Chains A and B, each alone.
Chain A
Amino acid sequence: GESVGLHLPTLSVQEGDNSIINCAYSNSASDYFIWYKQESGKGPQFIIDIRSNMDKRQGQRVTVLLNKTVKHLSLQIAATQPGDSAVYFCAEKPVYGNKLVFGAGTILRVKS
């Protein structure tokens, strides 16, 4: 079936460095993509989203890149901080319907 997957299950970065979390998706009919951050014992928190007609969107310290040609999504976090340590999920929404398909998740560990 359709799925959204991640290349790296765990990413360790030094505080202050930039982080890049990657996600591959398989449903070319998806029109919306979202990144969520989930801290231990909490629900996912919305970070940033992007429509399929865009290839880049920037937020505060975060940038999402979408490459529809290779069905790849990435989340870039600038100047990573200890508070960024969490599990990051990408999610896609097909054109038809309102369900989200979540990726497996990437653990981001920030070393001080």
Chain B
Amino acid sequence: GAVVSQHPSWVICKSGTSVKIECRSLDFQATTMFWYRQFPKQSLMLMATSNEGSKATYEQGVEKDKFLINHASLTLSTLTVTSAHPEDSSFYICSAGGGWLAKNIQYFGAGTRLSVL
């Protein structure tokens, strides 16, 4: 149980375009989803916390207009990187938690490698 699916796993885009990343909890209802960014050989940096049906809570320093988060259902959250630039290139990872299966634990997706040319 506790499977989180993240798509796409790898995306290359041109500077100025927008990219959408999907995160789905496949076998449980996640009341909360989290979006992280990870640079090479570094730890996970929390970008935002997303609760179903409400606006996401962004961490300090994260531009909410640049990283749009939608959490329309208990099993799906999306992260859209708007007008992407090379400095947005990174590894983005989502996690899901909450519900009876993941009360205290976050289960992670496989991550999305974003390369902006």
A residues engaging B (CB < 8 A)? Answer: 32, 34, 36, 41-46, 49, 89, 93, 98-100, 102-105
CB-based contact B108/A99 at 8 Å = no
Is B98 engaged at the interface, CB distance under 8 Å to the other chain? yes
Contact of A42 among B34, B95, B111 (CB under 8 A): B111
Contacts of B105 in A (CB 8 A): 34, 46, 49
Contacts of A32 in B (CB 8 A): 104
Contact of B113 among A34, A36, A41, A45 (CB under 8 A): A41
Is B72 engaged at the interface, CB distance under 8 Å to the other chain? no
Instruction: State A17–B2 Cα separation when bound (angstroms).
Output: 31
B residues engaging A (CB < 8 A)? Answer: 2, 4, 6, 32, 34, 42-44, 46, 49, 93, 95, 97-98, 104-111, 113
CB-based contact A102/B113 at 8 Å = no
Q: Which of A43, A49, A104 has the most CB atoms of chain B within a 10 A radius of its CB?
A: A43
Contacts of A42 in B (CB 8 A): 110-111
Instruction: State A84–B2 Cα separation when bound (angstroms).
Output: 21
